[in-house]
A and B are shown apart, each in its own frame.
Chain A
Amino acid sequence: MSELVLPKIDKTTIDKKDYIFKTLGKLINPENVLSHADEIKPYETDALAAYKQTPLVVVMPENTKEVSNILKFCHEENIKVVPRGSGTGLSGGALPLQDAVLLSLGKFNKILEIDFENKCVVTQPGVTNLGLTHAVQHKGFYYAPDPSSQLACSIGGNVAENSGGVHSLKYGTTTNNILGVEMVMMDGTICRIGGKTLDQEGYDLMGLICGSEGLLGVITEVTAKILKKPQVVKAALIGFPTIEEGGNAATEIISKGIVPAGMEIMDKALIEATDNFSKAGYPREAELLLIVELDGTQSEVDGLLKEVSDICKKNNCSSLKLSKNEKERLSFWVGRKAAFPACGAMAPDYYCMDGSIPRGKLAEALLEIKTLSKKYNLPVANCFHAGDGNLHPLIMYDGGNKEELRKTEEFGAEILKTCVRLGGVITGEHGVGVEKRELMCEMFNNNDIQQQLDIKLSLDQKNLLNPGKVYPILRKCAEEGRVHVHRGEEKFPDLPRF
C-alpha cells in the first residue's frame, strides 16, 4: 500500500499528552478516557484496515454535554479530534491521527423514543442501523437504508457517510430518511437541526451534515423516519449470455418506467466465485446475472414481474426464475450477499472499488474493466447496484508481491477515472475518507474544492475536526489504494459486503 500522507503532526500536542489525558479525565468519567497501548489498539483503524494509526487518547463520552465539553477543550487547546462510530467505514474516514483525540460514540447506544404516531425513531448515534429496524418491526415498520454492514454500522456513522444500500433507487439513502439530528460543533456549540417534521426551513443544514464524513460536527442524536413494510416483495433471477444483453435489459427495465426496490448485476467471474462459495444455484453458464426485486401490492408486483420477464426475454436471457415464496426470494440473494468473502476465498487479497456510473454505461464500463484486467494481468469480479448505478469491482491480487500491489493500485485508480469519464463519480456510498482523497480532483476543480473547504473552515475555523480526510492534501491526483483486505485481515470479516 502506498504511503499515506497525513496532516503534519503537531508536536506541542504530543508533548502535552499527560495534561490532555488528565484534563479529559476531569471533563468526563476518567474510566472513559483511554491511553494505554492495549486499550487503544482496537481503535487504530476502521474497516479500511490497511491504514493504521495510534490515536493520542481515546475518549468515550456518555452524553451530549460531555461531547460538548471535550470539543470545547480541544478547540481551545488546538487539539485535533477524530470522531468514530462503529468503525465499519470502508474509506478510512475514522482513521485516527497520532496527535488527535479519538472520540468514540460507542456509549451512545440507546434508542430514546419510538414514535409510531409521527413515524420516527429518536436514537443515540451509536445504535446500529439494523437496531432501528429491530425496534419497530413488531408493528410492521422498518428503517429503509440498508448498507451491507447494517448489522454493525452505527446510525451516526450512516449520517456521517450518507450510507445507502441495495434499495437506494426506490427508497433513497440516509439523507432522504432522517428528519433531524443533534450535533456538536468543534467549538462545543450544541445545535439541533430538524425534528419530527418533514423538511426544514432555511438552509438545509441536515443535507449538508449528511455525508460530511465527520468534518463539520459530531452527531449526538438522530431522528430517523420509519416506513411500513411493503405488502408483497418478490424477486427475479435472470441469466444473460452476454454483458451487453444483460446491461440493455437493466436499462430497459428503468426506461419502461419500472422502479425496482433493488436491481443487482453480477458478472461471470462473480457468478462463479459466489456460486462456489455459497452454493447459491446461480446459472453458471451466464455471462451476466441480474437480480430484480419488486415490492408493492400483490397485483402491482405481479404485473411488474411480468413486464420484467418480458423485457428480459426480449433481450435473449438464457435463464429466468421468479421467486415463488419468501424462502426462494432470500435464496436469490445468498450468493450476491457473499460476493466479498467469495472473492476473499479466491485470492490472498482483494481491493473493493466503489464508483457510480450512469446505468446505460454499464456494458461499456464492464468491457473496459475487462480490458484493464488483461492489461494488468489481474483477475477482477464485478457487482453492480444496477438500480442506482453503483459499481463495485473487486480486484484480486497478492499483497505479498509488491509489484502486484502497485499494479492493483494503478488498476483501481484507472477504474475510478473511467467512472468519471463515463459521467459518474468516484464514490457512490463508501465515502472519500483518506482512501480517495487525492482522486477528488478527477471530479472537482480548485474552485469546487475551495468552496467546500471554505464551508469547512466557516464551521471549524482551526481545521481541528477530522482533518486530512475527504479533501486532497497534495491537490494532485495521486493513485492511492481502495478497500484493502490482506489475507483475511479485514476489520469486519464476518460482515457480508454487497
Chain B
Amino acid sequence: MSTEVKKNSQIFQDSNKTYYPEDEIQVSSVVKELYKNNLPTELIGTGSKSFIGNKIQSANKLSLSKLSGIVEYLSQELYIKVKANTSLEFIEKELEKNNQELAFEPIDFGFIENGKSNKGTIAGYLSCNFAGSRRFKVGSVRDHILGFRGVNGKGEIIKSGGTVVKNVTGYDLSKLVTGSFGTLVALTEIVLKVLPKKKLSNTITIHTEDKRLVNKLFEKISSSSSEVSGAVYIPDEPEDENYVHNKEKVFKFNDLDSKGSFLALRVEGDKASINEKIKDLEKELELKKLNTSMLDVYQSVPFWKKINNLELFAETKNNLLRAVIPPAKGNELMQKLGNKYKYYVDWCGSLYWIEIQSQKNIKIIEIKKIIRELGGYLTIIKTSLNYNYEEAIFTVDDTRLMISEKIKKSFDPKRVFNPGKMYRGI
C-alpha cells in the first residue's frame, strides 16, 4: 500500500498490514490501491470462520469490521438492511424484538473451533452459504438475500438486487456473491429477508438402530404435508477412542434417552397446529409401533440450538466434513460409513456432517469419491493439524471451474480478494 492512500483517506493500518476502512468509500479507495499495486489481500470480519477454505498467502489484510450496524429495519416489509460486518448475534437479537428471525437458522461455527459461541458477522456467514436445519423447508442462505452493496476487485462500488422479494432487474448477483468465500466482492451492505418467528416447537424422537427405517422415515416426512421443519438422525458414536464420546452429554434432556441412535423431528406453530401436526405424523409414520419420546418447547428449542451449534463436534481435533447428497442415496451412504466414523444427518436425509480421525488423507479422498458417485458434493470444513491439503477443500468439475475462473476475472481480474481460498488459481 502506498503511503499516499493512507495520507489521503486516513485509513488506519496496523503493524500486521491490516487495513481498517470505516466506510464504503474508504473500502473502495483501499481496494483501488491494492488493485493498482497487484497486492493479494485477505478479507476479514471477525475471523470466526477463517479456518474454512484454503489458507491464503497474502501480504495484506482488509478488515471490514468497522462497517457495522443496522441501516434500516422494516419489520412490516420483512427485510433488514445492515452494514455487512454487523454481528449475526446482534441481528438475531434485533429481529427477536419483533418476533422475527432469519428462517434459514444460522449455524454457529464457534463451537467446533473453540467450544463456545462465535457466530461472526453476516458478511462472513453469507460468504459460506451454510444453512441450518430448516434449510430443506425454507431454503438456504442465498434464498434470503435480497440485495447487497460492495466493492469489486478493481475498487468499484457496485450493487445488485434491492429490498423487495420479487425482482428480476438484471442478473441476480446476490446469489452469486453468497457462498463465494469473499473471492468476488468486499461486501459493504446486505439486505436480508426476514420472516415471522414460529410461536412454539415440539420435537418427536424415534429411537432406532435400523438405518433402512431411518431413511424410509426421512422419505415419508419429505412426502408429508405435515410441515416438519427439522429432521435429523444421530447415530450411536463409534467405539474408537479417537472420537470424543459426548452425545449423551450434549443431548441431556429430561425426556430424551440419548443412548443409542435416534431420529428427531421438529414441528412448529401454535399449540393447536402443533398438536394437529403430531397427530398427523403419528398416523403417517405409524409412530405407535416405534419407540418414541417427545420434547416439549423447553427442550425442543435448546435441542435444535445444539444441533445448529454442531456441538457434537465441539473442539474436535479431527477432520470435519460436510457432504450433501440426493436424499434417496441415504441407505447407500450410511452403509458405506458403517460405524467407523462419527457423523449425523440433517436436512431430512440430505446433509451429512462427518468427523474423520485420520493420520493420512486417504480416508477423506475415499469418502469424497463415494459422495461424488452418489451425485453429491463434499466440503472439508475443518482439518486436523496434520492435514496436508492434498485433496481439494471444495468439489468442482473442470467445466464449472473454467466458468468460475471467468466469473472471478469479471469481478476481480487481478485476484486481489482471497486468492486461492476456494480453488487454486482463482
Contact = CB atoms under 8 A, between A and B. Distances in A.
A388 B166 contact: yes
B328 A429 contact: no
A198 B168 contact: no
Contacts of A432: 168-170
Contact of B170 (A202, A203, A440): A440
Nearest to B279: A297
Contacts of A259: 195-196
A117 B219 CA distance: 6
A411 B214 CA distance: 60
Contact of A202 (B100, B223, B347, B400): B400
A209 to B, nearest CB: 9
Contacts of A436: 169
B385 interface: no
A466 interface: no
B139 A176 contact: yes
Interface string B334-350: 00000000000001001
Interface stretch (A52-60, A63-71, A357-365, A366-374): A357-365
A297 B328 contact: no
B141 to A, nearest CB: 9
B158 A448 contact: yes
B68 interface: no
B277 interface: yes
Given A202-B394, A451-B158, A360 B273 contact: no
B15 to A, nearest CB: 33
Interface residues of A, number: 91
A356 B166 contact: yes
Contact of A454 (B167, B399, B410): B410
A207 B219 contact: no
Contacts of B324: 197-199, 201
A61 interface: no
Interface residues of B, number: 86
A444 B129 CA distance: 26
Given A172-B143, A189-B399, A202-B400, A389 B165 contact: yes
A299 B406 contact: no
A425 B410 CA distance: 25
B238 interface: no
A448 B272 CA distance: 49
Contact of A459 (B195, B376, B406): B406
A360 B77 CA distance: 7
A401 interface: no
Nearest to A171: B139
Contacts of A229: 225
Given A254-B76, A452-B170, A454-B410, 5 more contacts: A205-B400, A257-B100, A300-B270, A424-B162, A452-B171
5 contacts: A161-B168, A197-B377, A202-B396, A254-B76, A359-B76
Query: Considering the complex of A and B, which 7 residue pairs feature the smallest CB-CB distances, nearest first?
Result: A207-B175, A257-B196, A255-B76, A196-B326, A117-B328, A428-B166, A454-B410
Interface of A: 115-119, 140, 161-162, 164, 168-169, 172-173, 175-176, 185, 189-193, 195-208, 210-212, 216, 228-231, 251-252, 254-255, 257-259, 296-300, 303, 356-360, 385, 388-390, 423-432, 436, 440, 443-444, 447-452, 454-455, 457-459, 470
